[in-house]
Chain A
């Protein structure tokens, strides 16, 4: 099975940088995803890592270390609209099936 851990809450200041960590244990890793979810809305895709290293996408970057079962999402130049929940998710490919497990999410509050 899969087990995903991420901090429950984080607070940061507008304009700053914040790093949200995610650790996972999985029996058949097939990619790690980060989603953003504003309150009352659907999750939206942010970033995807399947190989070790850093993926950069504008103000957002995501890092993966498969050997350590570790990822982080880095948000730069924080804006008030970045206040949301950030979900770490792992895809597990066993046989021909594809199963997704999400962490409980990290609620980020950006303060002026």
Chain B
């Protein structure tokens, strides 16, 4: 089954403790992206990647890192999480040209 898989689905952590949210897709898609969704602010793009070893900042990249060492994986790294990064995070992927995006189920993160 074609899918985008995020882990974990839920995470509660404390300020400053490094964490990684994994994202994997099995559709051989070139394009992958991370978003955060907050009430009243909609989906905001954090980082995106057009292909392996090619990443670029979205609208809200501060406090986040990404890497794209393999085509299928696009982890989101929070080196020192802060409470303002409490949010619902979605990973998405799309084929050549980056058109229709397929979203993972989401990761709900709480930073205390």
Contacts and interface: CB of A to CB of B under 8 A. Distances in A.
19 contacts: A33-B99, A42-B103, A42-B104, A43-B103, A44-B103, A45-B102, A96-B50, A97-B50, A97-B56, A98-B50, A98-B97, A99-B45, A99-B56, A100-B48, A100-B58, A102-B35, A102-B42, A103-B42, A104-B40
Contact of A100 (B101, B105, B106): B101
Given A42-B104, A98-B50, A104-B41, 20 more contacts: A31-B99, A33-B101, A35-B101, A41-B105, A42-B106, A43-B101, A43-B103, A45-B100, A45-B102, A48-B100, A87-B43, A97-B50, A97-B56, A98-B97, A98-B98, A100-B98, A102-B35, A102-B44, A104-B40, A104-B42
A45 B101 contact: yes
Given A43-B90, A100-B48, A91 B41 contact: no
Contact of B42 (A48, A87, A97): A87
- Chain B, interface residues (CB within 8 Å), range: 20 to 34
- Chain A, interface residues (CB within 8 Å), range: 20 to 34
- Which of B41, B48, B58, B98 has most chain A Cβ within 10 Å? B98
A42 B90 contact: yes
Interface in A33-53: 33, 35, 41-45, 48
Contacts of B85: none
Contacts of B103: 42-44
Contacts of B53: none
A6 to B, nearest CB: 9
Given A42-B90, A42-B105, A91-B98, A99 B42 contact: no
Contacts of B104: 42
- Closest A-B pairs by Cβ, 7 of them: A104-B42, A42-B103, A102-B43, A98-B98, A45-B100, A102-B42, A43-B103
Contacts of A102: 35, 42-45
Contacts of A33: 99-101
Given A42-B105, A105-B42, A99 B48 contact: yes
